[in-house]
């Protein structure tokens, strides 16, 4: 437990091929000189956190450091009028867990522009069941809607459907009236769960790739939310109908995109980037409210894994190896203390 002067935090030395972390007590006075101090009640684990904990280049800017791009809790101090002690907030993305000590800790101190008010009816643990993954899914759907991809346009595919972003996207799209085709390499173990979230069909990676060696194949998708990048993203583009769109937000399958111009020049397909890390405050607020109003938390809850701060290390390793389905919530109090 934290006191007025110290707090518990996960610290990575960044010197291992796999995530190496330990819980340490740090001085509150060493937190950055920002406007808002938050008592963190819950955090969550993301692929980027695993990269940071393993010392992979381009993520955390200095070591030793505290990873964690997500946090939710209560404001305990603020010198900005937008936030007052007692306000329940969500903090994600920006520099959190990279250059700024992250959310896998009992305290964070961040600029006033970063927090978003907790949606009505949610607590910190519920918010962290979604985390950056849920925020990304909601922002991706907003981008598709902005270019006219509606439920009436046709089915949408979701790649990486068993992962954090993908699972949230499947549930949110289904709740919004879309017919969802969930693409995953883990259909044998995760297919039933994805159907329970609202997927109409569960495709293997091989099904997605069928016929996509051609520049264009028969168009059977109105669009997609892509959470993996690489070859699956290129394959999606060959299948999208005229005037459709793909919103992409992942690189797990690769950062390179080998495609032709034909989907864009002959079908007018739009490729939309989703940047949850620097999204405008209004866009983030709208996305969180949409997630809350969609009523999908109960459906997703059974795929949320709950761990204490001291139990995080093996989960980070599992994330790097692609062995985690759903989301991992990290509780600053023992799991089960909040729902």
pLDDT at 200 over 90: yes
Indicate the domain borders of the chain: 6-118+303-331, 133-273
Tokens representing residue 313 in the block: 């290390």
Q: How many CA within 13 A on the CB side of residue 282? A: 0
| Alpha-helix runs per DSSP H in the chain | 47-53, 124-146, 164-175, 187-197, 205-209, 230-239, 262-267, 281-293, 297-301, 313-320
Of the pLDDT bands very low, low, confident and very high (cuts 50, 70, 90), residue 15 is confident
Of the pLDDT bands very low, low, confident and very high (cuts 50, 70, 90), residue 337 is very low
Average pLDDT over residues 259-276: 97
Strand partners, 65: 12
Average pLDDT over residues 172-186: 98
Tokens representing residue 332 in the block: 């600053």
Residue matched to tokens 């799209």: 173
Average pLDDT over residues 308-322: 93
Domain at 6-118+303-331, CATH from 3.90.180.10, 3.40.50.720, 3.30.950.10, 3.40.190.290:
3.90.180.10
Average pLDDT over residues 43-50: 94
The answer as to CATH 3.40.50.720 being correct for domain 133-273 is yes
pLDDT at 334 over 90: no
Q: Nearest 10 degrees: CA dihedral of 150, 155, 158, 161?
A: 120
pLDDT at 89 over 90: yes
Average pLDDT over residues 196-209: 96
d(CA 160, CA 226): 7
Instruction: Determine what percent of the chain is predicted with pLDDT higher than 70.
Output: 97
pLDDT at 17 over 80: no
The more confident residue out of 269 and 21 is 269
Report DSSP letters for 218-258, one per residue.
Answer: ---EEEEEESSBHHHHHHHHHHEEEEEEEEE---TTBS---
Q: Is 124 helix (H, G, I), strand (E, B) or coil?
A: helix
pLDDT at 145 over 50: yes
Q: What is the pLDDT of residue 178?
A: 99
Q: What is the pLDDT of residue 336?
A: 52
Average pLDDT over residues 256-279: 97
Residue-wise pLDDT tens digits, 288-309: 999 999 999 999 999 999 999 9
Q: What is the pLDDT of residue 338?
A: 42
Average pLDDT over residues 234-254: 96
């Amino acid at each position: 437990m934290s006191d007025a002067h110290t707090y518990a935090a996960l610290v990575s030395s960044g010197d291992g091929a796999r995530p190496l972390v330990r819980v340490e007590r740090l001085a509150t006075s060493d937190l950055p000189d920002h406007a808002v101090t938050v008592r963190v009640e819950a955090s969550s684990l993301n692929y980027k956190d695993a990269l940071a904990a393993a010392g992979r280049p381009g993520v955390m800017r200095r070591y030793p450091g505290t990873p964690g791009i997500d946090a939710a809790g209560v404001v305990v101090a603020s010198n900005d009028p937008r936030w007052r002690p007692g306000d329940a907030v969500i903090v994600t993305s920006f520099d959190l867990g990279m250059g700024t000590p992250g959310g896998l800790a009992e305290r964070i101190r961040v600029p006033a522009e970063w927090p978003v008010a907790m949606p009505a009816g949610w607590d910190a643990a519920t918010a962290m069941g979604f985390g950056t993954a849920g925020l990304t899914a909601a922002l991706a759907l907003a981008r598709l809607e902005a270019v006219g991809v509606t439920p009436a346009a046709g089915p949408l595919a979701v790649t990486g459907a068993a992962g954090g972003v993908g699972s949230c996207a499947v549930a949110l799209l289904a709740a919004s009236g879309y017919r969802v085709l969930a693409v995953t390499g883990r259909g044998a173990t995760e297919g039933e769960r994805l159907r329970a979230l609202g997927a109409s069909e569960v495709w293997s990676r091989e099904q997605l790739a069928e016929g996509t060696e051609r520049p264009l194949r028969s168009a059977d998708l109105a669009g997609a939310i892509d959470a993996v990048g690489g070859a699956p993203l290129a394959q999606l583009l060959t299948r999208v109908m005229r005037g459709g769109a793909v919103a992409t937000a992942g690189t797990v399958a690769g950062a390179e995109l080998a495609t032709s111009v034909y989907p864009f020049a002959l079908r007018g397909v739009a490729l939309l980037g989703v940047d949850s890390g620097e999204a405008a405050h209004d866009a983030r607020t709208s996305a969180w409210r949409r997630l809350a109003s969609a009523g999908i938390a109960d459906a997703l809850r059974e795929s949320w894994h709950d761990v204490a701060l001291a139990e995080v290390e093996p989960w980070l390793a599992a994330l790097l190896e692609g062995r985690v389905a759903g989301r991992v919530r990290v509780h600053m109090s023992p799991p089960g203390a909040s729902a």
